[in-house]
Amino acid sequence: MSARTSAAQLIQAMKELSVEWGQTKEHWRDIKSREFEEKFLSELPVQINRAVAAIEEIEAVMRKVRNDCE
């Protein structure tokens, strides 16, 4: 699996989680749901974006190494 594929899968998983969380919030509306969202989900998009950026950097380094070794 390429780094690019991994990044795409991570983005897709975040989209799916967002949809599922939206549906969950329709039924789970207490303080614990808000705490869960703040503790685990609120920063997740930022963390995902950082991870994707890191994956893209790794992909670029790997591509350069491959080219240098040829």
pTM given for the model: 0.80
Interior CA angle at 50 toward 44 and 55, to 5°?
A: 120
Query: Could you tell me which of 9, 69, 57, 17 has the C-alpha nearest to residue 41?
Result: 17
User: Per-domain residue ranges for the chain?
Assistant: 3-69
Per-residue pLDDT tens for 18-67? 999 999 999 999 999 999 999 999 999 999 999 999 999 999 999 999 99
Report pLDDT for 60.
93
Q: How many CB atoms lie within 10 A of CB 44?
A: 14
Q: How confident is the model at residue 70 (pLDDT cuts 50, 70, 90)?
A: confident
What is the rounded average pLDDT of the residues 2-28?
94
pLDDT at 4: 85
